[in-house]
Structure 1
Amino acid sequence: MNVKTVTKALAVTTAGIMLLAGCGGGGSSKQASSGSDGFDSKAKTAITFAGWSLDMTPEFKTLANGFHKAHPNVTVNVKQYSADDYDKQLTADISSGAQPDVFPIKNMLKYVTYSDSQGLADISDIAKGYQGNKHIDLNGYEHNGKYFALPYRSDTWVLFYNKDMFKKAGVEEPNAKWTWDDYTKAAKELKEKLPAAGYDANSVYPMYMHNWQSVVQSFALAQCGKSADSTFLKADFSYMEPFYKRALEWQKDKYTIDWNTSFTNKVQYQAQFGTQKAAMMPMGTWYAATLVSQQQSGEAEKFSWGMAPAPQNPDKKLPKTPITFGSPTSLAVSSKATGQKLAAAKEFVKWASGQGGALELAKLSTTPAYIDDKVTEIFFSPEGMASDQASKDAWSKHDMKMEAPVATATDTINSLLKDTHSSIMTGAKSPSDGLKEATQNVKDQGVLDE
Structure 2
Amino acid sequence: MALVAIVLVAGLAACGVAPDTSEQGETGGITISLAGWTFSTRPEFKVLAKAYEKAHPSVRIDLKEYSADDYDKQLIADLSASKSPDVFPIKNLRMYYTYADSGKLAKLDDMAVGLAKSKDMRGISGYRVDGSVYALPYRQDVWLLFYNKTMLNKAGIDVPDGSWTWKDYESAAKRLKSALPKAGYKDAYPTYHHTTWQSVPQGFALAQQDQGEANSVFFGGDYRYLKSVYAMMLRMQDEGLMLSYNTVSSSKTTYQSQFGMQKAALLPMATWYMGPLTDQQSSGDAQRFEWGVTVLPQRTHDDVSHPKSFGDPTGFAVSGAIGGAKLKAAKDFVRWACGEEGAKVLADTGTLPAYLSDDVVDRFLARKGMPKDEESRRAITDSMTIPENPVGEATQTIQDELNIAHTSILSETKNMDDALSSASKAIVNSGLLDERYKEGA
Q: TM-score, normalised by structure 1?
A: 0.89
Instruction: Find 2:132's aligned residue among 134, 137, 146.
Output: 146
Q: CA 1:282/1:119 → structure 2, altered by over 3 Å: closer, same or farther?
A: same
1:319 to partner: Cα distance? 5.0
1:88 to partner: Cα distance? 2.1
1:131 to partner: Cα distance? 3.2
Give yes or no for the alignment of 1:206 onto 2:190. Answer: yes
1:145 to partner: Cα distance? 1.2
Give yes or no for the alignment of 1:192 onto 2:185. Answer: no
Letter in 1 for 2:401: L
Give yes or no for the alignment of 1:324 onto 2:317. Answer: no
1:339 to partner: Cα distance? 1.1
2:258 — aligned with what? 272
Alignment partners' CA distance in 2, 1:260 and 1:11:
28
1:241 to partner: Cα distance? 0.6
Aligned partners of 1:18 and 1:114 also within 8 Å: no
Q: TM-score, normalised by structure 2?
A: 0.90
Equivalent runs, 1:233-248 vs 2, <5 Å: 233-248=219-234
Letter in 2 for 1:311: P
Aligned partners of 2:192 and 2:242 also within 8 Å: yes
Unaligned segments of structure 2, at least 5 residues: 14-27, 436-441
1:186 to partner: Cα distance? 1.1
Instruction: Find 2:117's aligned residue among 120, 132, 147.
Output: 132
Alignment partners' CA distance in 2, 1:228 and 1:17:
32
1:426 to partner: Cα distance? 1.6
1:86 — aligned with what? 71
Equivalent runs, 1:48-67 vs 2, <5 Å: 48-67=33-52
1:262 to partner: Cα distance? 1.0
1:18 to partner: Cα distance? 4.3
Letter in 2 for 1:303: F
Alignment partners' CA distance in 1, 2:279 and 2:137:
25
Alignment partners' CA distance in 2, 1:349 and 1:167:
45
1:427 — aligned with what? 412
Letter in 2 for 1:255: L
Aligned partners of 1:177 and 1:318 also within 8 Å: no
Give yes or no for the alignment of 1:350 onto 2:335. Answer: yes
Give yes or no for the alignment of 1:116 onto 2:101. Answer: yes
Alignment partners' CA distance in 1, 2:357 and 2:244:
39
Instruction: Find 1:71's aligned residue among 56, 59, 77.
Output: 56
Cα distance per residue 1:20-41 (max 9 Å; x no partner): xxxxxxxxxxxxxxxxxxxxxx
Alignment partners' CA distance in 2, 1:46 and 1:260:
49
Letter in 1 for 2:233: A
Instruction: Find 2:145's aligned residue among 137, 147, 159.
Output: 159
1:218 to partner: Cα distance? 0.9
Instruction: Find 2:7's aligned residue among 7, 11, 14.
Output: 14
128-137 vs 355-364, which moves further: 128-137
> SS of the counterpart of 1:312?
coil
Cα distance per residue 1:125-171 (max 9 Å; x no partner): 00110233221121211111111111001111000100011111111
1:291 — aligned with what? 277
Instruction: Find 1:414's aligned residue among 391, 399, 408.
Output: 399
Instruction: Find 1:360's aligned residue among 345, 359, 366.
Output: 345
Instruction: Find 1:405's aligned residue among 387, 390, 414.
Output: 390
RMSD across aligned positions (CA): 1.9
1:438 — aligned with what? 423
Aligned partners of 2:53 and 2:59 also within 8 Å: yes
1:173 — aligned with what? 159
1:14 to partner: Cα distance? 1.2
Cα distance per residue 1:392-424 (max 9 Å; x no partner): 221222100001211110101101111101111
Bigger RCO of structures 1 and 2 (CA < 8 A, at least 6 apart): 1
Cα distance per residue 1:226-272 (max 9 Å; x no partner): 22343221211010111111111111221111111111111111000
Alignment partners' CA distance in 2, 1:389 and 1:221:
27
2:355 — aligned with what? 370
2:23 — aligned with what? none
Alignment partners' CA distance in 2, 1:96 and 1:422:
35
Aligned partners of 2:162 and 2:304 also within 8 Å: no
1:326 to partner: Cα distance? 0.4
Alignment partners' CA distance in 1, 2:269 and 2:12:
33
Cα distance per residue 1:22-61 (max 9 Å; x no partner): xxxxxxxxxxxxxxxxxxxxx8321111112222222111
Runs of 4+ in 1 over 6 A off after TM superposition: none
1:27 — aligned with what? none
Give yes or no for the alignment of 1:252 onto 2:245. Answer: no
134-143 vs 234-243, which moves further: 134-143
